[in-house]
Amino acid sequence: DENFLETLADVPIISADYYAEMMTLGYRLFDEIQPMGMGPFQIVYQTRDLIMLRYHLQYIYGRPFLEEIRLRFYNDEQSLIDALVNGEIDYIEFPDRNTTDRLLELMRTRINVFLTPRPEAKLYVLLFNVQHGALKDASVRRAINLAIHKENIVERFAKSIGEVSHSLFPDDSPHFKREFFTDRYRPRESIQLLKATGWQYNRQSMMIEKNGQPLTFKLFFAENSELEQNLARAIKLNLAEINVNVQPFPVSPDAKDRLLSNSEYEAMIYSYTYDPDYPFSAAEDFFENVLGAEQNVPNYRNAYLSQLFDLVRNVPAKHENALERLQYYLNRETPATFLFFDNDILIGLDKRFASFRDVVRTRDKRMFFRLNPIENWFVPKNLQKYP
């Protein structure tokens, strides 16, 4: 059945008690109580660039205000921004603070912009190909880590929405092993570490060299992404201070995925997202599919960690041990430099919409906007632009 997945997605979800009652009364029960689990919208069709949703006739809470929703996908960030400016989309999650401020200045009369807490964990990392040239040496990778001013990066590009990251888990997470991470910005210590491993400054080339070879590498980032371009530039300037040459190299998002899976990069700016309720799954996935232990062409490999993940995968009581060991090796061997967590979503929504958010106050008296369920959103009739 070529439509099996669409059919499966439309199957109602019912509780065990509800199912037991249905087995007694028969399917006529569904005429009295509609099953929970049917969402307010159902998929009509999808392509590579579009998912078309229409309201669900059997939704338990009745017909939503919105007739249909179209989810559009764009090849890169600039195409998405252009679509917003041209009025082709109504809702956007902005990629970074600077882009948001720039567009708000341009479109202040057309869009509402607000923050909402990000339910998932999202962080930016600098990945190293540990099979490449000078980056094979863990001391070089540690030196690079010490020379990157993460606090300055957050201040410039993620102010009020981000925080410095030292590991896969934020500093306030119970899974974060603080004792392993002392990687504050210390460029002088970085230079000393490089000198101790044989790297010397060449006055003629104005670079550090070892055995006649300069310390240089390509840094891949997503083209047409203002944030990643800014991160690449900041890293280049930081490392220039210790005479390391970084060559920023833009590639398409699809190309980035291919380069990652085949370990065909030297260094790469990468954003990683995971569900904080499943830290073990996130750690295993990051080790195997981002650091590259299980990639098509393996990158960072660690036999001890591979065996440990296999042994404890089905033993939840041992998961914390795996998280601790992973962080130990992340610090010791530095296959990646963690830059910052992106904690809040910057949302832009066409001002025609109403009933889309509420103001929420936390216990510590912090106030933020929370999105209402999308079935509650509506556009007043006099502002509707679609027939």
- Each domain of the chain, given as residue ranges in start order, spans 121-342
Burial annotation 280-292 (CB, 10 A radius, 16+ → b, else e): bebbbebbbebbb
Average per-residue pLDDT in the chain?
90
Query: What confidence tier does 59 reach under pLDDT thresholds 50, 70, 90?
Result: confident
pLDDT value of position 233: 98
Torsions phi, psi for 292 (to 5 deg): 100, 20
Long-range contacts of 209-214 (CB under 8 A, 24+ apart): 210/134, 213/133, 213/134, 214/245
Is the pLDDT score of 10 beyond 70? no
Identify which of 373, 374, 113, 339 has the alpha carbon closest to the alpha carbon of residue 227.
339
Percent of the chain at pLDDT exceeding 70: 91
Identify which of 306, 235, 224 has the alpha carbon closest to the alpha carbon of residue 267.
235
pLDDT value of position 249: 97
Is the pLDDT score of 312 beyond 80? yes
**What one-character DSSP code corresponds to residue 372?**
P
Residues 232-236: what's their mean pLDDT? 98
Alpha carbon 380 to its chain centroid, in Å, reads 34
Distance (Å, whole) CA 86 – CA 227 = 21
In the three-class reduction of DSSP (H, G, I as helix; E, B as strand; rest coil), residue 186 is classed as coil
Query: What confidence tier does 360 reach under pLDDT thresholds 50, 70, 90?
Result: confident
Identify which of 79, 77, 31, 22 has the alpha carbon closest to the alpha carbon of residue 58.
31
Q: 């009652």: which residue's tokens?
A: 21
Q: 């567009």: which residue's tokens?
A: 103
pLDDT value of position 310: 95
Q: What is the pLDDT of residues 365-375, one digit of tens each?
A: 777 777 888 88
- Taking every pair of Cα atoms in the chain, the longest distance, rounded to a whole number of angstroms, is 88
Is the pLDDT score of 100 beyond 80? yes
pLDDT value of position 35: 52
Q: 């040239």: which residue's tokens?
A: 133
Strand partners, 202: 207
pLDDT value of position 15: 66
Q: What is the pLDDT of residues 324-353, one digit of tens each?
A: 999 999 999 999 999 999 999 999 999 999
Is the pLDDT score of 79 beyond 90? yes
Please calculate the CA angle 116-121-123 and round it to the nearest 5 degrees. Answer: 105
Q: Domain 121-342 is of which CATH architecture?
A: Roll (3.10)
Query: What confidence tier does 197 reach under pLDDT thresholds 50, 70, 90?
Result: very high
Note if the pTM is more than 0.75: yes
- By mean pLDDT, which of 39-48, 162-171, 239-248, 343-352 is the weakest? 39-48
Residues 245-266: what's their mean pLDDT? 95
Strand residues in the chain grouped as ranges (E) = 41-46, 50-55, 68-72, 91-94, 111-117, 121-128, 162-164, 200-202, 207-210, 213-214, 216-222, 245-251, 267-274, 336-342, 344-350, 357-361, 367-371
